[in-house]
Amino acid sequence: MPFDDFRLDGRVALVTGANRGLGQGLALALAAAGADVVLLGRSDPAETTARVQTFGRRAVHVPCDLATAGPDGIDAAVAAAMDVFGHLDILVNNAGVIHRAPAADVTDDDWHDVLTVNLDAVFRLCRAVGRHMLARGGGRIINIASMLSFQGGVRVPAYAASKHAVLGLTRALANEWAGHGVNVNAIAPGYMATDNTAALRDDPHRAAAILERIPAGRWGDPEDLAGAIVFLASDTARYVHGTVIPVDGGWLGR
Ligand code: NAP
């Protein structure tokens, strides 16, 4: 059968923030393609776990609050994740937070809260899982970037800075690790209907302005990321390094 290389049977994926939103969609796509999943996060991913099991795959929760874990806590969580199935083939850094306020009103705590989850934790997870993948001779890391990896956004300065940095980190790690069989890439979702964008969708003016600017004419859904994540996680992406796939309904091209 053609396209067998897209299958992920026997692979183990660690997905952060998969109890809801895009992370849930990413975990389900990986499971549908054949992967078992470790769901790392601070909330019980009961719904995601049950839905993964409908694909005949296994899902295990590793508790970790990425805002407070610190480097040692994240190393311990990764060690626990590797203990579940014995190894990790795929890391998806999805968990993220957003703080909406004019830049002049952003406190140091606000700034720190966003950068800790969206950037520090991403680096620490890449470092811990990357060491394991380098030792095994291969793996896939997919970081969830954003339109605000390319654009400044509206009153979300810490988020925009963090997502620009995620793209820079993705490229930096790819430069180092591509020659060792570890593929590091990113997906940049456009405007997706999740809790992250609830405030925008609740604001009639912002909601209308955003929708008018999306060439596809609709907000994205978690399921829209399924093809990109399975591609980047699979053997078909073996020669893809340090790139970002926008899944944005045409937003960046406009
Ligand atoms: P969401 O619905 O708000 O979900 C965020 C996820 O991150 C939740 O699972 C949440 O867990 C987890 N998380 C937040 N803080 C955490 C912490 N301290 N420790 C562990 N997990 C934590 O947002 P989403 O839209 O799915 O966003 C997922 C990713 O896509 C984020 O990186 C976001 O920046 C990015 N993104 C989203 C959009 C969009 O339009 N929605 C566009 C571009 C990029 P809890 O349930 O425990 O809070």
Residue type, 32: A
Residues in the chain: 254
**Is the C-beta atom of 196 inside 6 A of ligand 1?**
yes
Q: What is the pLDDT of residue 22?
A: 98
| Backbone phi, psi, residue 249, to 5° | 60, 20
Distance 22 CA to ligand 1 centre (A): 7
| 250 three-state secondary structure | coil
Mutate to test the pocket of ligand 1, among 16, 42, 223 (most ligand atoms within 8 A of CB): 42
What is the rounded CA–CA span in Å between residue 148 and residue 244?
A: 13
Distance 2 CA to ligand 1 centre (A): 35
Q: What is the pLDDT of residue 3?
A: 81
Active site residues: 159
Do 36 and 12 meet the contact criterion of CB atoms below 8 Å apart?
A: yes
**Is the C-beta atom of 42 inside 6 A of ligand 1?**
yes
Q: What is the pLDDT of residue 2?
A: 63
Report all structural domains of the chain as residue ranges with CATH numbers, in order of start.
Answer: 3-244 (3.40.50.720)
Q: What is the pLDDT of residue 127?
A: 98
Q: What is the pLDDT of residue 153?
A: 97
Residue 44 token pair = 């019980």
Atom number, ligand 1, closest to the C-alpha of residue 98? 34
The count of C-alpha atoms lying within 13 angstroms of the C-alpha of 16, restricted to the half-sphere facing its C-beta, is 27
pTM: 0.98
Distance 209 CA to ligand 1 centre (A): 23
Q: Which long-range contacts (CB under 8 A, 24 or more apart) does 46-55 make?
A: 46/19, 47/19, 47/20, 48/18, 48/19, 48/20, 48/23, 48/24, 51/24, 52/27, 52/28, 55/28, 55/31
Mean pLDDT, consecutive 10-residue stretches, the chain (254 aa), reads: 87 98 98 98 98 98 98 98 97 98 98 98 98 98 98 98 99 98 99 96 96 98 98 98 98 97
**Is the C-beta atom of 144 inside 6 A of ligand 1?**
yes
Q: What is the pLDDT of residue 229?
A: 99
